[in-house]
Amino acid sequence: MSICEKMILITGFAPYKEALNASAALISSMQSDLPDGLRDLENQLVFEIIGVDDTSRKTEHQTLETQLLTLISQHQPALCIFIGQAPPYNKITCEKVALNSFMNEVIDAEGSVAYWADLPGINTLPAAVEAQNIPAAHSYYAGQHLCNHILYSSLAYAEKTGLSYRSGFIHIPVLPEQVKMDYKNAACMPLSMTRKALLTVIQHVVKVEAGFEKCE
């Protein structure tokens, strides 16, 4: 794969039992209005929103896995950046660990207990975001639901198939309008700030991952 064929897959989640999801709003915003700072990477960025069938744990698991593997097969990314909302959080949070657990059940009975996220530059990512006056931190627990699941499944699939792409997950706070609608006591972050944070995340991992910055 040549340098300029390297792709970055960035996903968010569609609203889940609610009217709005901050990650879907962020991805939609990037799709319709890409920041100027990413114009040089425009042809290498793929923004997608993932929705799941929430009828049961089984349908959630199956629809998430199907969509993830379809996107990886379709776009053949070099990097995967997954975005999800976290109502309790008041900062951009970079997840470092994915557990083999989904709603307190095992995701893959034959899989590893856990994986380290391997997104380039993950150790210095919060500092890069905070340099833009946006609060950020690392986390070592991505929860028991879709956010942890997609990161675990992506890392596990890379190991099983021998594919060389690298994955990471970023949690963002909910939007101010979500506090009014659904999360009365939650911290929040405006879309303009989460856009700036995602811009910084992409620029940072590209800078660390040799090759992307050389594309014309």
- Other Cβ atoms closer than 10 A to 110: 8
Residues in the chain, total: 216
pLDDT per position in the chain (216 positions), as tens?
Answer: 444 579 999 999 999 888 999 999 999 999 999 999 999 999 999 999 999 998 999 999 999 999 999 999 999 999 999 999 999 999 999 999 999 999 989 999 999 999 999 999 999 999 999 999 999 999 999 999 999 999 999 999 999 999 999 999 999 999 999 999 988 999 999 999 999 999 999 999 999 986 564 444
Pairing of strands 166-172, 79-85: parallel
Quote the Cα angle for 205-210-215, to 5°.
95
Q: What's the confidence (pLDDT) of residue 76?
A: 97
The predicted model scores a pTM of 0.94
- Residue 49: beta bridge partners? 12
Pairwise CA distance, residues 138 & 124, whole Å: 10
Helix axes 191-208, 22-32, angle to 10 degrees: 70
Pairing of strands 45-50, 79-85: unpaired
Say if CB 42 and CB 31 are below 8 A apart. no
Say if CB 153 and CB 64 are below 8 A apart. yes
| Domains along the chain with CATH numbers | 3-214 (3.40.630.20)
Amino acid letter, residue 148: N
